[in-house]
């Protein structure tokens, strides 16, 4: 799965908020950086991915956070200012435009402009060259959650429908072509094996593939509990609790330890069955490939977590990627 995914130029990770999307995008970029010059893009970040690497929050200029891996935070206002600097020849005039009271009103009210130029900035980075070759082999975008992501993907299409001529219309048409170039661009869904994230992922897949027509790279299902107990054991509570009690008493543990241990095991079994149910639903309603990522019981919540997820992802790669030069 990942070998084909990382062969593209742009991978956008998206899904319902709170499913571990940023962790998945970061782990993917970290893994890719071992063989490719990689840029990780965060959008309007409130908590910067830089924390995973012990670095200060990212800004609008790309900065290296690990060997072969750079990070940038793109915000709508900065993307608009960036575009104005391209089309307005005098820097002082750009400052006057952005300082005008009507500027913020226009950028907030104009349909799709902020999202369009945010997307445009990503493609500008994709097009950057160093010594006649792409500056980055791969760009991984920690995309917006579902609703905002759809707004961003739809923005160039809607601008094309609204504006027929002019520099913004031309830019929008170019972005639509690039967005729908399956050899260059793909989206990776991120989800949890739970009811709401799964339902939202299925709907998002249908919208992105049928309406917006972006290539689908697969789905990463995060935080899956391990299968440590058998389904039939759920109905044998008393028997199991007695067996656990005997084992605990042999080592001098009290009955309270037995009860807590059994309850924890029972709860984990119940959640594992829930996860299995939603994994089956995903498999029945979405095409693969599927990337199953484990629930991490203990980590520092930062670099260690990302490293562990990247290690799981590494097992999906059968053929080494070419080395960056």
Least confident range of 46-60, 109-123, 282-296: 109-123
Long-range contacts of 171-176 (CB under 8 A, 24+ apart): 171/116, 171/120, 172/116, 174/123, 175/116, 175/119, 175/120, 175/123
Per-residue pLDDT of 8-24, as tens digits, reads 999 999 999 999 999 99
Please check the confidence at residue 204 and state whether its pLDDT lies above 70.
Answer: yes
For residue 275, the model assigns a pLDDT of: 95
- Residue 61, pLDDT above cutoff 80: yes
**Whether the predicted pLDDT of 99 surpasses 80:** no
Question: What is the reported pLDDT for 318?
Answer: 39
pLDDT of residue 131: 83
Cα–Cα–Cα angle for 28, 284, 290, rounded to 5 degrees: 15
Interatomic CA distance for residues 10 and 184, integer angstroms:
6
Give the mean pLDDT of 157-174: 87
Q: How many angstroms separate the CA atoms of 229 and 270, rounded?
A: 10
256-274 pLDDT, tens digit per residue, is 655 666 677 778 888 899 9
Main-chain dihedrals φ then ψ at residue 154, nearest 5 degrees: -80, -20
Tokens read off for 57: 């929050």
In a 3-state reduction of DSSP, which class is residue 103? helix
Percent of the chain with pLDDT over 90: 53
Q: Tokens at residue 38, please?
A: 């990689």
Residue 71, SS3? strand
Q: Is 82 left (phi over 0), alpha (psi -120 to 50) or beta?
A: alpha
The predicted-structure confidence for 214-242, as pLDDT tens digits, reads as follows 999 999 999 999 887 666 655 555 566 66
CATH for the stretch 2-226+287-314 = 3.40.50.300
Cα 144 from chain centroid (whole Å): 8
Question: 231 versus 149: which is more confidently predicted?
Answer: 149
pLDDT for res 108:
64
For the record, the structure tokens of 216 come out as 């689908």
Q: Which phi and psi angles does 214 have, rounded to 5°? A: -110, 145
Cβ count near 285 (within 10 Å): 13
pLDDT of residue 236: 58
Average pLDDT, the chain: 84
What DSSP element (H or E) covers 219?
strand 216-224
Q: What is the pLDDT of residue 79?
A: 85
Domain ranges in the chain are 2-226+287-314
pLDDT tens string 166-177: 888 888 899 999
The residues, any chain, with a CB within 8 Å of residue 31's CB and separated by 6 or more, are 2, 6, 310, 313, 314, 317
Q: Furthest-apart CA pair in the chain: how many Å? A: 82
Cα 205 → chain centroid: 14
Q: Which of 12-16, 209-213, 239-243, 300-304 has the lowest mean pLDDT?
A: 239-243
CA atoms of 160 and 273, how far apart (whole Å):
47
pTM: 0.86
Tokens 């070759």 map to which residue? 133
pLDDT at residue number 264: 73
- Poorest-pLDDT segment among 137-141, 146-150, 255-259: 255-259
Position 324 confidence tier, pLDDT thresholds 50, 70, 90? very low
Q: Please state, in angstroms and rounded to a whole number, the distance separating the CA atoms of residues 179 and 176.
A: 5
pLDDT at res. 84: 75
- The answer, yes or no, to whether residue 322 has pLDDT greater than 50, is no
Question: Mean of the pLDDT values across residues 295-299?
Answer: 79
In the prediction, which pLDDT does 47 show?
77
Name beta bridge partners: 72: 41
The pLDDT confidence band at residue 66, using thresholds 50, 70 and 90, is very high
Write out the DSSP string of 32-53.
HTTTS-EEEEEES-SS-GGGGG
Ranking 71-75, 113-117, 305-309 by mean pLDDT, the lowest is 113-117
């Amino acid at each position: 799965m990942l070998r084909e995914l990382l062969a593209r130029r742009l991978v956008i990770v998206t899904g319902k908020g709170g499913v571990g999307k940023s962790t998945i995008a970061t782990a993917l970029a970290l893994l890719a950086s071992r063989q490719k010059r990689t840029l990780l893009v965060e959008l309007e970040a409130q908590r910067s991915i830089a924390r995973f690497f012990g670095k200060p929050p990212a800004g609008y200029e790309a900065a290296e956070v690990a060997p072969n891996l750079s990070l940038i935070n793109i915000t709508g206002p900065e993307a608009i200012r960036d575009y104005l600097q391209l089309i307005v020849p005098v820097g002082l005039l750009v400052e006057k435009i952005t300082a005008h009271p009507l500027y913020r009103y226009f950028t907030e009210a104009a349909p799709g402009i902020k999202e369009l130029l945010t997307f445009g900035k990503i493609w500008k980075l994709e097009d950057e060259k160093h010594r006649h070759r792409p500056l980055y082999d791969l760009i991984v975008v920690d995309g917006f959650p579902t609703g905002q992501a759809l707004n961003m993907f739809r923005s160039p299409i809607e601008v094309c429908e609204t504006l027929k001529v002019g520099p913004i219309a031309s830019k929008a048409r170019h972005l639509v072509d690039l967005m729908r170039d399956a050899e260059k661009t793909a989206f990776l869904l991120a989800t949890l094996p739970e009811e709401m994230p799964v339902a939202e992922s299925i709907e998002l897949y249908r919208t992105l593939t049928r309406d917006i027509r972006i290539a689908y790279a697969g789905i990463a299902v995060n935080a899956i509990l391990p299968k440590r107990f058998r389904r039939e054991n759920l109905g044998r509570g008393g028997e199991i609790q007695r067996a656990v009690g005997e084992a605990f008493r042999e080592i001098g543990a009290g009955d309270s330890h037995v009860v807590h241990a059994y309850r924890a095991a029972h709860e984990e079994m119940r959640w594992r069955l829930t996860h299995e149910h939603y994994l089956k639903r995903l498999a029945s309603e979405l095409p693969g490939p599927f990337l199953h990522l484990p629930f991490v019981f203990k980590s520092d919540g930062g670099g260690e977590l990302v490293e562990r997820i990247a290690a799981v992802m590494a097992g999906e790669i059968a053929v080494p990627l070419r080395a960056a030069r």
